[in-house]
Structure 1
Amino acid sequence: MRDLLMLGLFLALIYKTFKDPMWGVLGWVWMGVMNPHRLAYGFAHDAPWSMVIALALFASLMFHRDKLVKFPVNAVTVLLAIWILWIGVSPLLFSFYPDKEMNFWSRAFKVLLMVLVSLLVVKRRRDLDWLVLVLVISIGYYGIKGGVFTVLSGGSARVWGPEGSFIEDNNSLALATIMTVPLIRYLQLQATKPWQRHLATVSMLLCMASAVGSQSRGAFLAIVTMSFFMWLKSRNKLPLALVVLVALPLIFVFMPDSWTNRMETIKTYDQDSSAMGRINAWQMAWRLALDLFPFGGGFTVAGPAVFAKYAPDPSVPLTAHSIYFQALGEHGFFGLAIFVGIFAATWRLAGATIRAAKDMPDLQWARDLSAMCQVGLIGYATGGAFLSLVYFDLPYYLVLIVVVVNRVVAAEVAGRKQAAVAAGQAPRDVHSPYWGGT
């Protein structure tokens, strides 16, 4: 039954994609982030849904060239383009396992390429709201389900994601769930009905419960850091503060002793084999990057041959479990600088958008969305310090959203200035958003 339902939804999606490429973008995001086909048990489970929707999207782009917008050229998009090119350099030149590089490179390349393609399609508030809603549904499904599971099980069991996805691991799912909370908050801020706001509150609490129930130490740190920034960046601070100050401690108190014992290992990391294994992998990445400066060792650096040459303890070959050391080991110091630069430039762009829309009540949504994307990136920067999620698609979709919001606001600001000049009035002195393209 699930397979037939999946097929029916997919065929409708393909039909809509040929009518409007935006549906192709939404379909790609849905398939890549939620992996709904993994919830089926028959032919749908392993069917190439993403490939088909991508082909349909590219065909739709050819048919609807008049609906596309000019590619925005700014620091964020330039760094994204350089990143796409650079991730193919180290695997080609210095890989210890060149025959295994293609699958890893292909997966990362497709995620990044589709972000750039989406910048030609996503162009207005309605598109952005749909994109945010798809992201919330895709991750929120697992977060809400996991939150209920955590409550019913008393927090004694961990929450896992769909197999074969970026969020299959309990730690990765926890981070994705935490990063979705600010997007739910954005939808709550735009809600016009009480039931919508109440649903958003319940959803945020269950997502946080799910992340806590994953027993991920990185997620715990991300929750604490992101909760503060979400309060700082959000309007209507008092209700949010009450929810965080009352509900979040109750979630932590509710957790069993096993959760408390695991969180306490943050203070005694030197006595935890998992933590020491990660530090060993970080040292390996640092030594490798110094030796191959400014390049890295490619996507397959977590192998015995690499650890035998560079790791202090070659007997424990682990993945980096850190987006920073993963980028460093795989793509060198230059790659790490590009990777960090993408999100730093995105933060700056979001800040410019918030300032530009500050005195425009009808652009409050743009300020809210930009601020919540910043909060999501804080979650990624904090929780990602302990996870190998350099190519995880969700943070790149936050980048996409920030770039498009900036473009919308910049166009609105320019339009209002032109209208003021045409009417013989002095244009209002507003902050000029840092942006590019039209």
Structure 2
Amino acid sequence: MLELVLLSFVAGLLLLGLRNPFIWVLTYIYVDLIGPQKIGWAILPKIPFSLIAFGAAFAGWLVFDRKADVRFSFRQFLLLLLLAYCGLTTVMAEFPVDAAEKWAWVWKVLVFAIFLPLTLTSRLRIEAVALFLVLAIGTVVIDGGIKTALGGGGYGHLRFFVNEDSGIYESSTLATAAIAIIPLVLWLARFGTVFPPDWRVRLFAGALVFACLLIPVGTEARTGLLCIGVLAVLLLRSTRRRFLYMGLAGAVAMMAVPFLPQSFTERMDTIKDHKGDQSASTRIAVWQWTLEYVKDRPTGGGFNAYLGNSLDFQTTSTVSDGSTTVVETQTVTDQGRAYHSGYFEMLGEQGWPGLGLWLLFHLIGIVQMERIRRRFAKGTTADERWFGQLANALQQSHLIYMVGALFAGIAYQSFIYMIAALEIALVFAVRRWGAARIARPGQSVRPADLPLPAEGERA
């Protein structure tokens, strides 16, 4: 039954795309994030959903979409360079077979990230992508949030639709993504037009935000807790009543502590001292190994170069029998440990050139969103508020990802590149809006290709 429902849903989206081809772009976003072919066990695994959806999305844009407003940004050019560089390092990879396996999905992420902004030429399309991104991740988040609320969480024990530790279903990745989409959830609840804001939309948005906050608890991912802290600081910058916000946030945090599982609080305590936790100690050792590795191979070792590492590190534990306390030190040897950091993932696999391209791509996006946010911070019209608040939400999501990537190997996770595509589209939308106002001063600017289109505009 589950397979038939999922198959019918995807098939329905593909059929709707016959009327409006942009829906195929949204279909690919859903398929890429959720992976319906992984959920099934009989019919779905045999259907190449990703290939079908991407082929339809690209063909629909190429054949039916207008190209007059298509622009290619510098950030897309950076992604194109990164794509070519990753292909080159894959050819020269230290572990060619393993590198080819990762390249098989990374190139699709980068190609779609380059392609997606070309399709986002209106407000409705920008909002639709933001909505599908939120709801696709929200599908997994709601499932995990319900299980956590019912006591089904725990490190390595929280189960989702897919019983595998990869993609959006990996605990640290999901914890980061769940917190990163909260600003977009709040923005859609205020400025969305697909589902006009009313009490039902606000109620669902509040419930989804709560489920997002439960994911770090259910997965016991320390990265998620750090992301919540970053979100709290970023929201403080945006709120007008800061002292009231700080008081309420502190009160909610204090009231939540007694309800947290003991296993969660014990795991979060390991943030204070990495030597007391083998997982954290391993990360430090891998990062040190990576820095030494790129001294000899500054251009990186290709995908999955970490398979060549061999680590010796020490962990400490405290043993008490009630009267005496003994601190024990143990030397641990490990091999082939993953980077557990998007930054060191890029450094070890693509070297300093790849890391530089990756950091420049993200830094430009954050700076561009800050410029738009400041420009429209005191916006008085609906257009200006829409621009400013979306830029603020995208920047917050991006910054949360950058913090999460410090401690999770998510350099190539597709959700951040979809957020980046929205940023690129927003920059072009602001430029078109400004150009139209200069061309027609004093007139209302609402043509179909601008972010505030006339009523009835099709995507």
Q: TM-score range by the shorter chain?
A: 0.7 to 0.9
Letter in 2 for 1:299: F
Aligned partner (choices 366, 369, 387) of residue 366 of structure 1? 387
Letter in 2 for 1:322: S
Residue 66 of structure 2 aligns to a residue in which SS? Answer: helix
User: Aligned residue for 2:125?
Assistant: 127
CA separation in 1, counterparts of 2:294 and 2:304?
A: 14
1:29-178 alignment, distance < 5 Å: 29-66=29-66, 69-74=69-74, 76-93=75-92, 95-153=93-151, 158-161=157-160, 162-163=162-163, 165-178=166-179
Higher fraction of strand: 2
For structure 1, which segment, 44-53 or 227-236, has the greater mean C-alpha deviation from structure 2 after superposition? 227-236
Q: Does 1:298 align with 2:302?
A: yes
Q: CA 1:46 to 1:352, structure 2 compared with 1: closer, same or farther past 3 Å? A: farther
Instruction: Check conservation: 1:234, 1:372, Cα contact below 8 A.
Output: no
Deviation at 1:14, TM superposition (A): 2.1
Q: Does 1:376 align with 2:397?
A: yes
Deviation at 1:223, TM superposition (A): 0.8
Instruction: Check conservation: 1:284, 1:312, Cα contact below 8 A.
Output: no
CA separation in 1, counterparts of 2:365 and 2:13?
A: 30
Q: Does 1:388 align with 2:409?
A: yes
Deviation at 1:7, TM superposition (A): 2.4
Letter in 2 for 1:77: Q
Instruction: Provide the aligned length of Structure 1 versus Structure 2.
Output: 416
Deviation at 1:163, TM superposition (A): 4.2
CA separation in 2, counterparts of 1:21 and 1:112?
A: 21
Over the aligned positions, Cα root-mean-square deviation in angstroms equals 2.5
Instruction: Check conservation: 2:70, 2:121, Cα contact below 8 A.
Output: no
User: Aligned residue for 2:26?
Assistant: 26
Q: CA 1:109 to 1:250, structure 2 compared with 1: closer, same or farther past 3 Å? A: farther
For structure 1, which segment, 16-25 or 207-216, has the greater mean C-alpha deviation from structure 2 after superposition? 16-25
CA separation in 2, counterparts of 1:159 and 1:390?
A: 23
Deviation at 1:286, TM superposition (A): 1.1
Cα deviations by residue, 1:281-313 (Å, 9 ceiling, x for unpaired): 1122111212112x000112121xx215xx566
User: Aligned residue for 1:433?
Assistant: none
Cα deviations by residue, 1:359-418 (Å, 9 ceiling, x for unpaired): 352221221111111111121111221111111011111111111111111111111111
Higher fraction of helix: 1
1:263-302 alignment, distance < 5 Å: 263-293=268-298, 295-302=299-306
Instruction: Check conservation: 2:152, 2:158, Cα contact below 8 A.
Output: no
CA separation in 2, counterparts of 1:332 and 1:57?
A: 33
User: Aligned residue for 1:233?
Assistant: 238
User: Aligned residue for 1:336?
Assistant: 355
After TM superposition, the score normalised by the length of structure 2 is: 0.84
Instruction: Check conservation: 2:24, 2:54, Cα contact below 8 A.
Output: yes
After TM superposition, the score normalised by the length of structure 1 is: 0.88
Deviation at 1:18, TM superposition (A): 4.0
User: Aligned residue for 1:435?
Assistant: none
Deviation at 1:69, TM superposition (A): 3.4
CA separation in 2, counterparts of 1:167 and 1:109?
A: 17
Deviation at 1:254, TM superposition (A): 1.2
CA separation in 2, counterparts of 1:406 and 1:89?
A: 31
For structure 1, which segment, 10-19 or 143-152, has the greater mean C-alpha deviation from structure 2 after superposition? 10-19
Q: Percent identity?
A: 23
Q: CA 1:252 to 1:80, structure 2 compared with 1: closer, same or farther past 3 Å? A: farther
Instruction: Check conservation: 2:36, 2:44, Cα contact below 8 A.
Output: no
CA separation in 2, counterparts of 1:122 and 1:372?
A: 18
CA separation in 2, counterparts of 1:184 and 1:374?
A: 14
Aligned partner (choices 307, 314, 317) of residue 309 of structure 2? 307
Unaligned regions of 5+ residues in structure 2, if any?
314-332, 445-459
